[in-house]
Structure 1
Amino acid sequence: MSPGGSRSALAWIGHPLTLAAVVLLLLNDHLFKPLWPGPVTGKLSDVAGLIVAPPLLNLVVRRPRVSVLLTGAAFTLVKTTTIGAALATEVWTLVWGPSRILADPTDLIALPALCAAWWAWEHAGARAVRLARVAIVVPATVLAVAATGQSETFRPYSAYAVDVVDSAIVVAIRGGSSMKPAPTGWASSDGGKSWVTWVVRVPPRPRTSACVPGRPDRCYRIVPTRLKVEELSDGHWVTAWEISPAGQDRLARAHRPKIVEDAEVVESLGIAVQRLPTGYVVVVADGADGIVLRDVSGAWRRLGWADSGFDSSSAVSLTAPGRYDDSVPMVALLAGLAAGLVALGCGVRRLGFALGAPTVWMGVWSFYSGLHTPILFDPRTVLLGVLLVPAGAAAVVVSAVRGGTRLWAWGIGTVTTVATHYAVMMPFRAWSAGRLEHYSEASGLSIALGIAAGVAGALAVITLEIRSRSVLGRA
């Protein structure tokens, strides 16, 4: 039997080292990680997975050396690139359910485990007794490999409270990966210049106002639901720092994840004042946007999320293009298609067209939505679209031809489709470029322009149809 034969491939999985790695994966992902989450259990999964994956892949590839190299290359791509991690997340979610895989170059320390996997291959015998063992091991192996991706979840980071503890400013945070839990907070003793992890929980009720120690006349407070801080000056509260409502709207959408239910607010939630020998600093927790800090010189600046706490270079720029909902392009496409079909239908007016047009629209909707899902794609929805579009298009074309539809009706229908699509999209692009202040303005204008373009197309076909019949009647 050849080295790549089925018997040898099964024996590789049945090797004691592979079996031990399978057991370690199952215990680590279902017992150790929930009890002791952190880098150690995370690396254990990587080591065991790199031992188990090559023999499992070899069942399909039938080339042991290629299986090891493919495993190493895929692992490196996933752990060192955002694209690789995102693709792995989509594939794992498609196959095993909601998952989250993060790029982490430190995980490459587990790559030498591939040498152990290769050693197991070279010492894998072809004894018949292992075949019986493999019959039980293969399903467990597949489940064990899947466990790592399936057990990981991720929520956006959020700074929700600030306090002063032992002369240090402490920002309480939540969110992050369940496989690599974030610290409960970050602390700074030098006015926000450097940060260290903080493991003691801050009181759950954030402070909404704070005064400089020893200066009851120098106080600050946050404005609920806003990115805004007010300062007590001569007995009156005046604005010390704020982001306009339009800017806050753009930031909220910049931090909005694909799964909206997991979104964290972007608004001022808590405030604290830290006294330093050279003055004082004010720190405000701003939810998903990070924090805003007033330094000893009186300058305010936003600090975004960084690997070592907070940093001004990580803050989302207010001048960056605004991020509109991922569903907007699909809505624009479907609105344009619907408007074009309605305009063309005003010139056809046959039962076959009335049945075919909605079928085409439903097919395009099914195909497009099937390709744009939180997972990689939905094959059943895509297949439904592939079946509906040709059937509906055939009914539309045959009905139009039999009805003697004029070329200008086809032209107006096509122009209406394009015009409506751009009428829906342009307000959102204008908002993204900063030419419209509020997202709601873009939404309202998009609806109004889309309806106007669609109605104009339908009226153009109806008007020309009436004129054409009038001319034919006089002739």
Structure 2
Amino acid sequence: MPPLPFHHPESAPPDMKSPEMRSPALAWLGHPLTVTAVVVLLLNDHLLKPLWPGALTGKLSDVAGLIVAPPLLHLLVRRPRLSILVTGAAFTLVKTTTVGAALASQAWTLVWGPSRVLADPADLVALPALYVAWWAWRHPDARAVRLARAAIAVPLTVLAVAATGQADTFTPYSAYAVDVIDDTIVVATRGGSRPWLTGTGFASGDAGRSWFGRTVPETIPERTSACVPGLPDRCYRIVPGRLKVEESRDGRWVTAWEVSTGDQAWLARAYDPEHPEGTGVVASSGIAVQKLPGGHVVVVANGADGIALRDVSGAWHRLGWAEGKGFASTAAPSLTSPGRYEDSIHTIALSAAFAAGVVALGCGVRRFGFFVAALALWAGVSSFHSGMNTAILFNPVAVLLGIALMSAGAGGMIMSAVRGEAPLRTWVIGAATAAVTYYAIMTPFRAWSAGWLDSSSSAFNLSAVLGVATVCAGVFAVVRLGGSRRDLR
């Protein structure tokens, strides 16, 4: 009697015997429960969350994601228990530790651009959904149409899981108005995971010592002045365009708190330049006063800089956004914090450095085909980059075209350089030109960040001058010292 074939205990459920069940990985992904979870993910993240943001829609995505992720991971590891354990462990790590949340944020940022994943142990309530995923694996659907459904579900599942990560794009908070409602200080903010939404903010019921998130009225006034209740001669007002508060004293207005104009301009550099439109301003825009038994508290909305708080003792404090705490004085950036320039500056500098190196090297190779190949490489990089940065997972046509153009361009440049008999020093000068051009462009922006230049426009102008000068120097060096071997004979 021939020996029975050996089956790994995790290679397939025991009831997978029919011909249409020969692909258990796809069968799990195509199970009606998994497909339903995929549909829930897409509808919830693209329709329900924007309309009704809150705990319910947030937990719904967690539950659906935990059902979908194991069969998707199983396509790679081919071990159902391991897929479920890895999914549960990763979810727990992300939701319970700042390190896990930071790693998840970095991963989504690399794929989708700036994103923020927040740790929230309350989301662990969704972990039982892993049992649903396991049940779907142990109870496959034996209908003949299952594999066809699975073939459709693969790209749809990847898109759904990726889209739910992209939905967590985070922008810094910006306080634009403040009020006192039912003995509670309420600060209206923009930003967070859904910066387009209004009616969000933070509140404090203990005179600003602790804060919690809450919905705020969309009609909360942006007052420029406020008086202590019951004391009409004790008032405070903000100075438009400044981080400055004045108070009435002996019938005249005197400065109660301020950040100097120079420090205010410097402070604005410390904030993310990619704030939503109109929220990156560092200036006072709203004020409110709360009367307490021991005195009164003044709260000022300062845009991207958070809030300023006058406690009952009369001391003023700057409070910045602190994750998980609302506002805290320890989170307020120092007035000596380095400036932040846009990430696109790096991309521009790298592109310019590549172009400078190609021009310098091309002047040494002196072949028309070299420049054509360089343009093909450039177009390939652009196509690949645009294909990987789309609203969906990726654009396969743009990605494949980019790979083809990059391969052809790089090969053409090498062949042209070999045929042109470019000596080693020509390559060295071309590479050096590219490297020096990059640093010539970036140095003015780093000098601006450090406070050595007064304005970003000065950094732009100096960057352009240094970049052009570096390219010219590289071309001159190649023409004088490089050239092909046949020119040197």
**The two structures share one fold, judged by TM-score above 0.5:** yes
Letter matched to residue 316 of structure 2: W
Contact 1:50 1:71 in 2 (8 A): yes
Once residues 83 and 27 of structure 2 are traced to their aligned partners in structure 1, the CA distance between those partners, rounded to angstroms, is 15
CA displacement at 1:24 relative to structure 2: 6.3
Name the structure 1 match of 2:193. Answer: 177
1:192 to 197, 200, 208: 208
Is 2:144 aligned against 1:131?
Answer: yes
Letter matched to residue 164 of structure 1: V
When residues 163 and 83 of structure 1 are mapped into structure 2, their CA distance, relative to the original with a 3 A threshold, is closer
1:166 to 182, 186, 205: 182
Letter matched to residue 290 of structure 2: Q
CA displacement at 1:133 relative to structure 2: 5.3
1:256 to 273, 286, 308: 273
Name the structure 2 match of 1:388. Answer: 409
Aligned to 1:287, the other structure's residue is in SS state coil
Name the structure 1 match of 2:346. Answer: 329
Contact 2:376 2:406 in 1 (8 A): no
Q: Deviations over 1:43-65 (max 9, x none)?
A: 23323432344345445644322
Name the structure 2 match of 1:425. Answer: 442
Q: Deviations over 1:6-61 (max 9, x none)?
A: 44556656777667766766776677656654223432332343234434544564
Letter matched to residue 67 of structure 1: S
Is 2:82 aligned against 1:66?
Answer: yes
Contact 2:273 2:341 in 1 (8 A): no
Contact 2:237 2:246 in 1 (8 A): yes
Contact 1:25 1:144 in 2 (8 A): no
Q: Deviations over 1:329-379 (max 9, x none)?
A: 232233334334444555565544554555555566667787889999873
Is 2:465 aligned against 1:448?
Answer: yes
Q: Deviations over 1:424-451 (max 9, x none)?
A: 1112222333333433332222222222
Name the structure 1 match of 2:245. Answer: 229
Letter matched to residue 85 of structure 1: A
Once residues 447 and 242 of structure 1 are traced to their aligned partners in structure 2, the CA distance between those partners, rounded to angstroms, is 33
CA displacement at 1:171 relative to structure 2: 1.0
Once residues 359 and 296 of structure 2 are traced to their aligned partners in structure 1, the CA distance between those partners, rounded to angstroms, is 65
When residues 58 and 250 of structure 1 are mapped into structure 2, their CA distance, relative to the original with a 3 A threshold, is same
Once residues 245 and 375 of structure 1 are traced to their aligned partners in structure 2, the CA distance between those partners, rounded to angstroms, is 44
Q: Deviations over 1:149-202 (max 9, x none)?
A: 6363545332111122334322112333359x8973323343311234444416
CA displacement at 1:208 relative to structure 2: 1.8
Give matches, 1:48-447, under 5 Å.
48-58=64-74, 61-79=77-95, 80=97, 81-86=100-105, 89=108, 93=112, 102-122=118-138, 124=139, 128=142, 130-132=143-145, 135-136=148-149, 139=152, 143=156, 147=160, 150=163, 152=167, 154=169, 156=171, 157-178=173-194, 184-201=200-217, 203-216=219-232, 218-232=234-248, 235-236=252-253, 238=255, 240-242=257-259, 244=261, 247-248=264-265, 251=268, 254-257=271-274, 264-306=280-322, 307-346=324-363, 349-356=366-373, 358-359=375-376, 379-380=399-400, 382-383=402-403, 384-399=405-420, 401=421, 412-447=429-464
- Higher deviation after alignment, 69-78 or 324-333: 69-78
Q: Deviations over 1:305-336 (max 9, x none)?
A: 23232111222334333322212223223333
RMSD of equivalent CA atoms = 4.5
Give matches, 1:9-28, under 5 Å.
12=28
Letter matched to residue 188 of structure 1: S
Once residues 293 and 353 of structure 1 are traced to their aligned partners in structure 2, the CA distance between those partners, rounded to angstroms, is 63
Once residues 481 and 236 of structure 2 are traced to their aligned partners in structure 1, the CA distance between those partners, rounded to angstroms, is 67
- Higher deviation after alignment, 23-32 or 183-192: 23-32
When residues 464 and 443 of structure 1 are mapped into structure 2, their CA distance, relative to the original with a 3 A threshold, is same
Once residues 138 and 364 of structure 1 are traced to their aligned partners in structure 2, the CA distance between those partners, rounded to angstroms, is 31
When residues 388 and 78 of structure 1 are mapped into structure 2, their CA distance, relative to the original with a 3 A threshold, is farther
TM-score (norm 2): 0.74
When residues 438 and 169 of structure 1 are mapped into structure 2, their CA distance, relative to the original with a 3 A threshold, is same
Once residues 26 and 343 of structure 1 are traced to their aligned partners in structure 2, the CA distance between those partners, rounded to angstroms, is 50
When residues 203 and 46 of structure 1 are mapped into structure 2, their CA distance, relative to the original with a 3 A threshold, is closer
CA displacement at 1:138 relative to structure 2: 6.7
Question: Where in structure 1 are there 5+ consecutive unaligned residues?
Answer: none
Once residues 42 and 381 of structure 2 are traced to their aligned partners in structure 1, the CA distance between those partners, rounded to angstroms, is 43
Aligned to 2:144, the other structure's residue is in SS state helix
TM-score (norm 1): 0.76
CA displacement at 1:207 relative to structure 2: 0.9
Contact 1:163 1:202 in 2 (8 A): no
Letter matched to residue 314 of structure 1: A
Once residues 27 and 229 of structure 2 are traced to their aligned partners in structure 1, the CA distance between those partners, rounded to angstroms, is 71
Q: Deviations over 1:253-281 (max 9, x none)?
A: 63334x86696433322112223333333
Contact 2:287 2:298 in 1 (8 A): yes
Once residues 113 and 305 of structure 1 are traced to their aligned partners in structure 2, the CA distance between those partners, rounded to angstroms, is 33
CA displacement at 1:464 relative to structure 2: 6.7
- Higher deviation after alignment, 6-15 or 43-52: 6-15
Contact 2:360 2:471 in 1 (8 A): yes
Once residues 290 and 74 of structure 1 are traced to their aligned partners in structure 2, the CA distance between those partners, rounded to angstroms, is 33
Once residues 31 and 63 of structure 1 are traced to their aligned partners in structure 2, the CA distance between those partners, rounded to angstroms, is 34
Once residues 359 and 47 of structure 2 are traced to their aligned partners in structure 1, the CA distance between those partners, rounded to angstroms, is 59
CA displacement at 1:206 relative to structure 2: 0.5
CA displacement at 1:251 relative to structure 2: 3.7
Q: Deviations over 1:48-87 (max 9, x none)?
A: 4323443454456443223322332443354441344336
Aligned to 2:281, the other structure's residue is in SS state coil
Question: Where in structure 2 are there 5+ consecutive unaligned residues?
Answer: none
When residues 40 and 301 of structure 1 are mapped into structure 2, their CA distance, relative to the original with a 3 A threshold, is same
Letter matched to residue 87 of structure 2: T
Aligned to 1:131, the other structure's residue is in SS state coil
